[in-house]
């Protein structure tokens, strides 16, 4: 019973649909952004050896299932900066969708913080 409750809580935590929930993301450095990204993964496209990164991709945490692509190249606007170490990712500034679900949130230490 308690185990089931914990499982449901975990499930809603990871695949949260309500704005009150704060989904958690892990990051993955990839050479090419995936066509079908996973829900709770923040993908970073680039060259790890040269510490050079171009794009990031995540599924919108609101539950709308839209892909959000972020530009990390600082001579193109808008541009985000991504900090990642020890499996924890943070993004600044906040991510604000101007279309559709209009989600606005920060990704801080892997956790979605709604604005
Ligand atoms: Zn959304």
Model confidence, pTM: 0.81
Task: Give me ligand 1 centre to Cα 1, in Å.
Answer: 32
Task: Give me ligand 1 centre to Cα 22, in Å.
Answer: 13
Is the pLDDT score of 1 beyond 70? no
Q: How many domains in the chain?
A: 1
Is the pLDDT score of 10 beyond 80? no
Quick one: residue 100, left, alpha or beta (phi over 0 = left, psi -120 to 50 = alpha)? left
Is the pLDDT score of 12 beyond 70? no
Is the pLDDT score of 19 beyond 70? no
Task: Give me ligand 1 centre to Cα 111, in Å.
Answer: 15
Q: Which two tokens stand for residue 10?
A: 């975990």
Task: Give me ligand 1 centre to Cα 97, in Å.
Answer: 8
Q: Which domain holds residue 53?
A: 2-114
């Amino acid at each position: 019973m308690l185990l089931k409750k914990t499982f449901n809580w975990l499930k809603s935590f990871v695949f949260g649909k309500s704005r009150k929930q704060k989904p958690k993301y892990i990051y993955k450095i990839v050479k090419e952004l995936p066509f079908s990204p996973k829900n709770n993964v923040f993908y970073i496209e680039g060259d790890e050896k040269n510490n050079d990164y171009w794009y990031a991709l995540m599924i919108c945490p609101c539950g709308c299932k839209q892909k959000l692509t972020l530009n990390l190249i600082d001579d193109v606007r808008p541009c985000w900066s991504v900090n990642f170490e020890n499996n924890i990712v943070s993004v600044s500034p906040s991510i604000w969708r101007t279309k559709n679900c209009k989600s606005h949130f920060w990704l801080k230490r892997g956790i979605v913080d709604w604005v």
